Amino acid sequence: MTEEVAADSLDLARYIRPGDTVVIGQGCAEALTLTEALLDARAAIGRCTVFLGPVFSGSVRPEHGDHLRFSGYAASGSNQVLARAGLLDIVPCHYSELPTLFRDRQLAAEVVLLQAAEAEDGRLFLGMANDHQIDAARRARSVIVEINRLVPETQGSELPEDIRIDALVRTSRAPATLPPAALGAAETAIARHVAALVPDGATIELGIGALPDAILATLTGHRDLGIHSGMLGDGVVRLAEAGALTNARKPIDCGVSVGGLLFGTRRIFDFAHRNPALRLMPPAYTHGHQVLRQVPGFIAINSAIEADLTGQVNGEMLAGAYLGAVGGQVDFLRGARAAPGGRSIIALPATAKGGSISRVVASLGDGVVTSLRSDMDVIVTEHGIAELRGLSLAQRARRMIAIAAPQFREGLERAAHPLLKAGE
Radius of gyration of the chain from its Cα atoms, rounded to whole angstroms: 22
Residue 396's SS3 state is helix
Asked whether residue 34 is domain-assigned, the answer is: yes
Contacts of 156 (CB under 8 A, 6+ apart): 130, 279, 280, 281
Q: Which residue has the higher pLDDT, 210 or 233?
A: 233
The DSSP call for residue 375 is: G
Q: What is the mean pLDDT of the chain?
A: 95
pLDDT tens per residue across span 280-291: 999 999 999 999
Contact 94, 326 (CB under 8 A): yes
Classify residue 340 by burial, with Cβ atoms within 10 Å: 0-12, 13-18, 19+: exposed
The DSSP call for residue 155 is: T
Both 375 and 312 in one domain: the answer is: yes
Q: What is the pLDDT, as a whole number, of residue 424?
A: 67
Mean pLDDT over 202-225 rounds to: 93
pLDDT tens per residue across span 256-267: 999 999 999 999
Q: What does the alpha-carbon distance between residue 249 and residue 256 come to, in Å, rounded to a whole number?
A: 10
Asked whether residue 135 is domain-assigned, the answer is: yes
Both 250 and 310 in one domain: the answer is: yes
CATH number at residue 12: 3.40.1080.10
Q: Indicate if the pLDDT at residue 61 is higher than 90.
A: yes
Q: Which residue has the higher pLDDT, 111 or 417?
A: 111
Per DSSP bridges, beta strands 321-322 and 317-318 are: antiparallel
Mean pLDDT over 401-406 rounds to: 98
Q: What is the pLDDT, as a whole number, of residue 419?
A: 81
Q: What is the pLDDT, as a whole number, of residue 321?
A: 86
Q: What is the pLDDT, as a whole number, of residue 210?
A: 85
Q: Quick one: three-class SS letters along 246-301?
A: CCCCCCCCCCCEEECEECCCHHHHHHHCCCCCEEECCHHHHCCHHHHCCCCCEEEE
User: If you write DSSP's letter for every residue of 302-356 in order, what string do you get?
Assistant: EE-SEEETTS-EE-SEETTEE-SB-TTHHHHHHHHHHSTT-EEEEE--SEETTTT
Confidence of residue 417 (pLDDT cuts 50, 70, 90): confident
Q: Indicate if the pLDDT at residue 232 is higher than 80.
A: yes
Q: What does the alpha-carbon distance between residue 338 and residue 336 come to, in Å, rounded to a whole number?
A: 5
Q: What percent of the chain has pLDDT over 90?
A: 91
Give the chain's domain count: 2
Asked whether residue 179 is domain-assigned, the answer is: no
Both 135 and 273 in one domain: the answer is: no
For residue 205, what are the β-bridge partners? 300
Q: What does the alpha-carbon distance between residue 133 and residue 314 come to, in Å, rounded to a whole number?
A: 27
CATH number at residue 304: 3.40.1080.20
Q: Indicate if the pLDDT at residue 220 is higher than 90.
A: yes
Asked whether residue 105 is domain-assigned, the answer is: yes
- Of 114, 144, 171, which residue constitutes the final position of a domain? 171
Classify residue 274 by burial, with Cβ atoms within 10 Å: 0-12, 13-18, 19+: exposed
Both 192 and 87 in one domain: the answer is: no
Q: Indicate if the pLDDT at residue 37 is higher than 80.
A: yes
Question: For the chain, give me the number of helices (H) and strands (E)?
Answer: 15, 26
pLDDT tens per residue across span 323-371: 899 999 999 999 999 999 999 999 999 999 999 999 999 999 888 999 9
pLDDT tens per residue across span 288-335: 999 999 999 999 999 999 999 999 999 999 888 898 999 999 999 999
Quote the Cα angle for 135-141-144, to 5°.
80
Domain span at residue 200? 185-422
pTM: 0.95
pLDDT tens per residue across span 8-25: 889 999 999 999 999 999
Mean pLDDT over 228-235 rounds to: 96
Both 276 and 417 in one domain: the answer is: yes
Which residue type does 222 have?
Answer: H
Lowest mean pLDDT among 94-103, 395-404, 415-424: 415-424
Q: Indicate if the pLDDT at residue 184 is higher than 70.
A: yes
- Of 102, 136, 171, which residue constitutes the final position of a domain? 171
Q: What does the alpha-carbon distance between residue 191 and residue 213 come to, in Å, rounded to a whole number?
A: 9
- Residue 122 φ/ψ region, left for φ over 0, alpha for ψ in the -120 to 50 degree band, beta for the rest: left
Asked whether residue 212 is domain-assigned, the answer is: yes
Both 143 and 199 in one domain: the answer is: no
Both 151 and 227 in one domain: the answer is: no
Both 119 and 89 in one domain: the answer is: yes
Q: What is the pLDDT, as a whole number, of residue 423?
A: 64
pLDDT tens per residue across span 128-145: 999 999 999 999 999 999
- Residue 225 φ/ψ region, left for φ over 0, alpha for ψ in the -120 to 50 degree band, beta for the rest: beta
Q: What is the pLDDT, as a whole number, of residue 82?
A: 95
Q: What is the pLDDT, as a whole number, of residue 209?
A: 81
Q: What is the pLDDT, as a whole number, of residue 319?
A: 85
Mean pLDDT over 243-261 rounds to: 97
Both 32 and 87 in one domain: the answer is: yes
Mean pLDDT over 44-49 rounds to: 96
Q: Indicate if the pLDDT at residue 421 is higher than 90.
A: no
Both 345 and 311 in one domain: the answer is: yes
Q: With the CA atoms of 303, 78, 22 and 280 taken in that order, what torsion angle do they form, in degrees rounded to the nearest 10?
A: -50
Both 116 and 142 in one domain: the answer is: yes
Asked whether residue 132 is domain-assigned, the answer is: yes
Both 203 and 98 in one domain: the answer is: no
For residue 56, what are the β-bridge partners? none
Q: Indicate if the pLDDT at residue 1 is higher than 90.
A: no
Of 298, 375, 288, nearest to 343 (Cα)? 298
Asked whether residue 177 is domain-assigned, the answer is: no
For residue 371, what are the β-bridge partners? 313
Length of the chain as a residue count: 424
- Of 103, 138, 171, which residue constitutes the final position of a domain? 171
Contact 54, 79 (CB under 8 A): yes
Q: What is the pLDDT, as a whole number, of residue 182?
A: 84
Asked whether residue 180 is domain-assigned, the answer is: no
Which residue type does 187 have?
Answer: E
